[in-house]
Structure 1
Amino acid sequence: MKKKFILGVSILALAIPTFVTADSNIRIWMKGNLIKSDVAPYIYQERTMVPLRVISENLGKEVTWDGAKRSVNIKDEKGNEFSLIIGGKFMEDISANVDRKIELDAPALIKDDRTFVPLRAIAEAFGERVDWDKDKRVVVIGEGYDTNKIKEEKTRDLQEKKEVLDPLGLDYLYNKDMAGKSDEEKVNYERTMRAQESKVFKGYKNGDVEGCLAWFSFAKAGQFFEPEQNKNPFLNPKKDGLGIGLTKRGEAMSGYEKTEGEDYYKRDCMGLASGPCVAGLEHFDYYINYDGTFSYFRLPLHYHDTPERMIKQIKEEISKAKKIRFIKANKKDMENLLKTLDADYDQAYKNILD
């Protein structure tokens, strides 16, 4: 027999105002504890969207992804099994001797390479109580919710964050007040902070330190083309130097300023590159999110197309940017990587505010 699903008394409050985003501090409480997730809940069409894999696995369920069908399958040891298709309006209960469709009040979506479903679906499919604590900004799943523990957890999170910030002096990467600002305000702030002298690494700018930290973080996340580069981020820089560039806000995407329909970059984008030749170049561009992460994208090294199609491709790549968290890098490693920086970049920073 299937469990009866239970909705929290304030289920209607789950339609949080639409200005809340994944960059906000929404957390997930499940059956007595806050759970860790590499992606945060967010709001879509006035519905709270939660990461399906994180919640399912914390409930003891197995999740599999079929890339060809763009579908997700969830099952547990009791024989319960559900299936849904990205963009679909239903979650199907495909357990033995069961033929049931659960209507979703918002479609399943992919964000930051993770599948998200509306919170109500967790209640209806898994038989769990769900609720929303608007004061603490916590999604609640199951019983045993303790507001006092939320306070303790928040204090601990701040302490852990301070430990990450202090060694490199890049506190601006965690300035949540900037997350909701306009692109212009973000750019002005970033340029100012990046142009300042590093308080930790004498003779370098904050931007130099930030770029090296992004390089290490990229390798730690295993995102370089070459597996060996992910294991040893010094591999190319030792031989060829680490180049850091800056694509400024307002710069033409195609490089043809007078082309009809020209479009321009909305944010400054830091670009990192190293390699023995253009064909073997390891590279990526990124912008910061002010929550300790950056979003990266890769643009083609050469374009063989019209300016219009070039602009379209650039915009598509930026729109698909993926998030990576800045790591807590070793100071000595940072110093060694800083020494490989191309000399031309220092001059670029001196003129960054021009």
Structure 2
Amino acid sequence: MTPHHHIVVLGGGYTGLAAAKLAARRTNAAVTLVNARDRFVERVRLHQLASGQRLRDLPLSQLLAGTGVRLVVDRVTRIDLAARAVHLAGAAAPLAYDTLVYALGSQADPHSVAGVAEHAHSVTTAEDADRLRERLATSGSVAVVGGGLTGLEAAAELAESRPELTVSLVTGGALGDGLSRRGRQHLRRTFDRLGVTVREHATVTEVRADGPVLAGGDHLAADTVVWATGFRVPDLARDAGLAVDEHGRMLVDETLRSVSHPEVYGVGDAAAARRQDGQELRMACATGLPCAYAAARAISDRLAGRQPRPLRFRYLMRCVSLGRGNGLIQFVRADDVPVEAVLTGRLAARYKEAVVRSTILAERHPALIGVL
């Protein structure tokens, strides 16, 4: 392996940071991490930030100290696959690479429904969460749109931490779709106790300044709308000419390598990774970290002339925080189908907190990902 090999990782979130540190640890290559901000963002805690809680400050420079990874704080504007170079907003010259790791994650889709961009808030970035927190300071009611884990956690957190708010949740399916019967029952009891009004099987067709409009014309009055559905990935992979699916997620093989450009790897939300049975992995931190480990291992193996092992992945659970003192741990089969076994209440909240804290432990010491 040549020490002049240069690995560039795009994105300093959960998967990108871990991939960069693991690549530096496992290879002799020079590793550069490119991220648009100089702080690591605990995205799984952004609903806490929006509710007024303070999060710990995690400078990327500190998390990278002693690893040999070079940090470039800049925004990626274009990937030139032919030249093997990344163009940055603040740099005159492009950044050349030999191996590229694409880990730019996902974000809210403000154009999925009319009015979202103008009138809704999200919790996908720290800046989004800060703006939502400021908005809520002058709000009396909030409607959370989206019945996935992000929406459930946001609705519960806001209702618990801001009891003066009137909180409603709008979901296109039944409350707790994807959970077991016991999980759904606990979720409904929790929302009843917190006073969260739930609109099930409801489709939002427009967001106005005074709340969402539902299919059929019903209007749900709300001072603030939180958009927790309709996520999208950046267009950079598609624009560059990488093979992507209909959502713009990079298509990767069983070693997380692009199916169209073997010098590029994709991890996290922006890559369409699959289990060995063909099931596509869902967007989640719990998915991204093992994929980062597998990608770094595959890069190391190939640079050393070894045949990399395919990704082996199984689901274990879904962890849902329902405020600071309550939670739901939904255990699942290897293929993510829920079983009746659940952990609820304060013990589940402590379990979820331990899981979230363990992600930062993994970012500090990513070699642990292989044994966690």
TM range, smaller chain: under 0.3
User: What is the TM-score normalised by the length of structure 1?
Assistant: 0.26
Bigger Rg, structure 1 or 2: 1
User: What is the TM-score normalised by the length of structure 2?
Assistant: 0.25
Greater RCO (Cα-Cα under 8 Å, separation 6 or more): 2
